[in-house]
Structures are given as structure tokens and as C-alpha cells.
Amino acid sequence: MISIWSRQLQRHWQSFSRAGIHLVDRRQAAPVKTGLVLAASAVLACTLASNALGQVMQSPHKFPGRAPIVRQNRGQARAAGGQQMGRRADPEAIALLRQMLRPAVEYAAEEMTWIAQGGGTTSHQTVKGDTKGNVLRRYTSPPFLAGDVMLTGPNKYVYYRASTKTVTVVPPAGGAEDERDKTIVLQIKQRNLIARRTGNETVAGINATIVLVTPVNPQQGGYAKFWIDPVTHIKLKIEIANAANAKISTSELSNIVTGPAANVLPRDFMPGQFGAGPRKEVQRQRTDTIQDAANQLSFRPVEPASLPMGFRLDGAYVLKGPIRVGLLLRYTDGVSFFTLTEHQVGKRQRPAVAANGVPHWFYPTGEYQVDVVYRGHLPAEQEKLVHESLKEVK
């Protein structure tokens, strides 16, 4: 999970195509409590200039001609100038986010991820990454994740579940960490978010550059903060905060090895390494609305009647697996995400324990139940709000 967007900005968001959770949502086939900058600085700078011009053209004066002069004292002028500079696009910050997607060197490291959900949950994993944007994560803790492997990359999401020896292949749709980073930077391109460097800090023995991503509107809360190695472009740490500027997730690397010593091989990023166990291919088909998706299902899906402040539906996907058809609903506030995956189950069917620690919410109907799997990192009170407001889609 960033901010309370204005109604005008929400309408603007809905007008462009969005790019399809590691943190929590990144494990869409298993539960881990779990920068794409295509924008150029010139686009953002031109936008700021255009907005300023529009304000002058709309200034209320009786006759056409030069707008009235508003004089400021020196203190006011300095304060206004400082605020404007603080919101200006930072080309070097944008460049770092773009380079972060494809680091300059191969690397291996240890990683720790923390999320606020459930009072705080931590996972540990080893990581390998290449210069093409592929990342392999092998989980060592908590116990229900030990032995699991997640492989992400450009148009790639593969998850190996050790306990069942099952491989799940799912087309990315904004859930994995890498897709989240791309979405953040896409919104920079769309001038909804702004990135700037805020200083330096040592992470894993490296002098990292801190890039802070916030809403363009300074009155809106929430942020994504990246610590990036300016030499290798490796993302060393990330921190996400919600609209109240409360930390909801962090992920940090340690014991980093780069270059040939990292022993990164092409086969590390090939799904065939997982063996010949059961393989599930899951197809995703995006629909225009939840109602359109419901028409392709054999059950009536559910949706939350209330969402945490700032969140909106970002996509509805029909899931077609080897056994059944279901629904994936993805919600975002611009930086953080949560998903609801729904399937029909028997009227009395319940897992003895929530599978892999992932919350299952069962919504009863007359003849069956809708099993709703929540993956995200909402604070407890917001998760409860979503859960308790579930209702059937009409």
C-alpha cells in the first residue's frame, strides 16, 4: 500500500492505460507478507510550465492584456520559490529509477522484507539478479515459506511451492514487486507522482542515493522511498508508507556480492530448474468491469463496499486455471496494492489452517461459498474494513 487523491486526479488516473505485490502481493501463488521510468524530465518540466501559464491565462482581470502584478516581500518570494523547487522534476532521480530496473551488474544478496500486516511479519530470502531485470528469490523463513522460490522479470512470474512441489506460472499483472516499481514510475510519467533525491545513506556498506516518490500535490500523503546504488543501480532498500505517512512495508538487501563472484548463471532464471513436478498454468484475462467478469463465472463474485481512503479498483481479471475459473480484483492507492482472488467452494468447505498463512475469507451464499484470498499489506483496521464490507456484485 499512498495518498488521498483528489476527485479530479482520480478521474485523470482512470483516463490512461495502467501497466499491469515482493512485499505482500508479489506472492500471488503463495503468501509472502510480501522503477520503470519511461518519463523524461522534459515532459514533467513542460507540464509545470503549462500549468503556470494556464493559471496566468485564467487570472481574473477585467480587460485583456497583462495580468495584474501581485507583489510579494522577499521572505514570501523565497518561500514560494523554495516550495516550487521542491516539487520540480529531478532528472537524475528519474534516471536512477529507470536504471534500477536493469542494474549495471549481476548480483547476489540476502534480503529481509517486513510488512505491517498482522502486527508485523518478516520474511528472509536469498536473491540473485541479472542485468536484464530478472530476479530469483529463495525463501528461508518464515517456516511456511522455507524452500519456496519466486522468479520474476520482464513479463515473467513463476512460483515454486516447496510443500507441494508445484510450479505456478502466472502472467504479471502488477502484483510482483518489479511490476509495482514500474507502475510507480509510470505514474511519474503521467505526472501524478514526482521523484526527487533527498540525500545519501549507507545501506549494506554502500553509499546509496535516496529517491523519494510522492504525489505531485503536496497536500496528499504517502510515499515510496528507494535507496539505490548510484554506481551499480541496484535497489538496496525500499520503504512504502500509506496516506497517513505510516510505514507499511520495507525490504532491504545485505551481504551483497557483484560481478563474477555473485555466480549468477542464465539457468537461475529458467523455470525448468524447478523439476518435473505438477505445473499449473494460470491465464489472466482483463475485463472492463467487475460485472463483465461476473458474466464469465459460474458464481456471483463479491467486492468490498468500502475501501481504505485513497484506494480504487485498478483491474478485474478472469483467472482460468487447469481446474477452475476464478476472479482477481486488484486495488491500488498509487503505490501500494492489495488483491482479492475469488473461487467457488462447497458450502461447508474450509481449510483447516489458512493456506500458507494467507487470509481466506468465506462469503456464504445459498448453495455455495465464495473463497476470497486476500494478499496485501494493509494495516489491520483497513484489512478489517475490506473484509467486513464484502458484498455480492450486482
Strands 166-169 and 325-332: unpaired
CA distances from 341 to 78, 128, 268, 297, 362 (A): 51, 29, 29, 13, 12
Torsion of CA 349, 352, 355, 361, to 10 degrees: 50
Question: Cβ(227)–Cβ(35) under 8 Å?
Answer: no
pLDDT of residue 179: 66
pLDDT of residue 389: 96
Residue 301, classified by CB atoms within 10 Å of its CB into exposed (0-12), middle (13-18) or buried (19+), is buried
Residue with cell 481466506: 360
Where do the domains of the chain lie?
Answer: 7-20+35-41+89-274, 282-392
Q: What is the architecture of the domain spanning 7-20+35-41+89-274?
A: Clam (2.50)
Per-residue confidence of the chain (394 residues) as pLDDT tens digits?
A: 333 333 333 333 333 333 333 333 333 333 333 332 223 333 333 333 333 323 322 333 332 333 344 444 554 444 444 344 445 779 999 999 999 989 999 999 999 999 887 678 899 999 999 999 999 999 999 988 899 999 988 878 888 888 877 787 765 554 455 567 777 878 888 888 899 999 999 999 999 999 999 988 877 778 999 999 999 999 999 999 877 788 888 999 999 999 999 999 999 998 777 765 566 667 778 888 899 998 999 899 999 999 988 888 988 989 887 777 899 998 887 777 788 999 998 877 766 555 556 788 999 887 889 999 888 878 888 889 999 999 999 8
pLDDT of residue 128: 97
The superfamily (CATH) of domain 282-392 is MucB/RseB, C-terminal domain (3.30.200.100)
User: What is the distance of C-alpha 214 from the center of its chain?
Assistant: 14
Question: Cβ(375)–Cβ(24) under 8 Å?
Answer: yes
Q: Give the span between the Cα atoms of 67 and 261, in whole angstroms.
A: 64
CA distances from 244 to 29, 35, 88, 310 (A): 30, 23, 23, 11
DSSP assignment string, 162-202: TTTTEEEE---SS-SHHHHHHHHHHHHHTTSEEEEEEEEEE
Q: Give the span between the Cα atoms of 216 and 189, in whole angstroms.
A: 12
Q: Residues 390-393: contacts with CB within 8 Å, 24+ apart?
A: 390/302, 390/303, 390/304, 390/305, 390/361, 390/363, 391/302, 391/303, 391/304, 391/305, 392/300, 392/301, 392/302, 392/363, 392/365, 393/290, 393/291, 393/294, 393/300, 393/301, 393/302, 393/303
